[in-house]
């Protein structure tokens, strides 16, 4: 699998929808209604996106969320990091971070770094706008990870 979390998938859908709409400020309930996703879920996604400053939340009545940047400048890597944490195939992120008590014994220490960097670069080269496409005006009622292909 290597599959990313469902929330990440929702985030792409939500961001795509936000970018498609002309209204700059959109409420979580409104986005939920337009995407067909559950409202609490959309709210959670937007909260996380706001923490990463990918969207900006405005409180109060008539509040809502708006994109801080155009979709074309939001990379897939950013979104994944926001939900799944640092992009690294193993937990020994970049071989730094001390704390692994068996560091001096770990034979593969540091050797995953090139792999992780390669993946990071691949994900940083794709923007949400690329994923959203442009011609598809569908209602985004469904997400991409509906089921898994058995190995």
Partner DNA sequence: GGAAACCGGACGCGGTTGGTCCTATTTGAC
Partner DNA sequence: GTCAAATAGGACCAACCGCGTCCGGTTTCC
> Where on the chain is the footprint of DNA (CB under 7 A)?
1, 5-7, 10, 27-30, 38, 40-41, 43-44, 46-47, 50-51, 57-65, 148
Secondary structure class of 31 (helix, strand, coil): helix
Rounded Cα–Cα distance for residues 100 and 118 (Å): 24
Least CB distance from residue 21 to a copy of itself, whole Å? 14
Least CB distance from residue 135 to DNA, whole Å? 28
Nearer to a copy of itself, 61 or 148 (CB): 148
Catalog residues that contact a copy of itself under the rule CB under 8 A. 1-4, 9, 12-13, 16, 76, 80, 84-93, 97, 99-102, 105-109, 111-112, 114-115, 118-119, 122-123, 125-126, 130-133, 136, 138-151
List the structure tokens of 46. 């937007």
Across-strand partners of 127?
75
Residue 141, Cα to own-chain centre: how many angstroms?
A: 18
List the structure tokens of 148. 């898994």
Rounded Cα–Cα distance for residues 97 and 19 (Å): 37
In the list a copy of itself, DNA, none, the entry touching 22 (Cβ below 5 to 8 angstroms by class) is none
């Amino acid at each position: 699998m290597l599959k990313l979390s469902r929330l990440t998938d929702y985030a792409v859908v939500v961001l795509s929808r936000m970018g498609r709409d002309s209204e700059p400020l959109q409420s979580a309930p409104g986005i939920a209604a337009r995407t067909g996703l559950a409202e609490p879920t959309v709210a959670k996604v937007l909260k996380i996106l706001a923490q990463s400053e990918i969207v900006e939340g405005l409180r109060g009545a008539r509040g809502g969320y708006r994109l801080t940047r155009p979709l074309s400048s939001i990379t897939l890597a950013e979104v994944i990091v926001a939900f799944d944490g640092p992009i690294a195939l193993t937990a020994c992120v970049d071989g730094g971070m001390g704390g692994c008590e068996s560091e001096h014994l770990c034979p593969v220490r540091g050797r995953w770094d090139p792999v992780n960097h390669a993946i990071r670069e691949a994900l940083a080269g794709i923007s949400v706008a690329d994923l959203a496409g442009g011609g598809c005006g569908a209602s985004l009622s469904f997400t991409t990870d509906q089921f898994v292909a058995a190995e």
